[in-house]
Chain A
């Protein structure tokens, strides 16, 4: 099974900051990587698929990059609504697997 490891596990930032979250796969997954945002008590929301493609309706402040084993999610100009938990997910090999999550908190 492929293990997905996110870093950091938690992150404090201020409104207006730019932040980067890293996701590392235990083996190569090409670009079969998705990113999700989850707020408390809500279902995850898809942000990015194929490592760097933005889902319809997702603002361009979110961007993804990477291929193989190392990936990043960057959020520019943080706004209050961006403070949430973010998950990466690989869909290259079964079983599909998620990272443990990165909780983005307001400083």
Chain B
């Protein structure tokens, strides 16, 4: 079974860029789609977007102007960048495999605060 692990800063200042990496183990990233989802504290889930291993992407229009998802097949990793963050971007960020998302990372809390 594929395992996923998110990593990155837990605190980001307003107006700066949030950067997270998801490391995939137990399988190759060179297949499947790879997704990012977030969950503000005490709230529901929001789909951020996905990337195919070839590099094609699809983003949630509500974030599209600020989000970039990229993949590094040599490191078996994919990444999320979210620019111009505000307190509303404070959330647990999850990475997941595929479109039906059978496998998830444990999640990482990112707080936006000065």
Interface residues of chain A, those whose CB is within 8 Å of chain B, are 1, 34, 36, 42-46, 49-50, 55-56, 87, 89, 91, 94-101
Contact = CB atoms under 8 A, between A and B. Distances in A.
A43 B104 contact: yes
Contacts of A45: 104
Nearest to A6: B44
A43 B44 contact: no
A98 B102 contact: no
Interface of B: 37, 44-47, 58-62, 94, 99-107
Contacts, number: 55
A34 B61 contact: no
B61 A95 contact: yes
User: Could you tell me the dominant secondary structure of chain B's interface residues?
Assistant: loop
Nearest to B107: A43
Nearest to A99: B44
A95 B45 contact: no
B102 A55 contact: yes
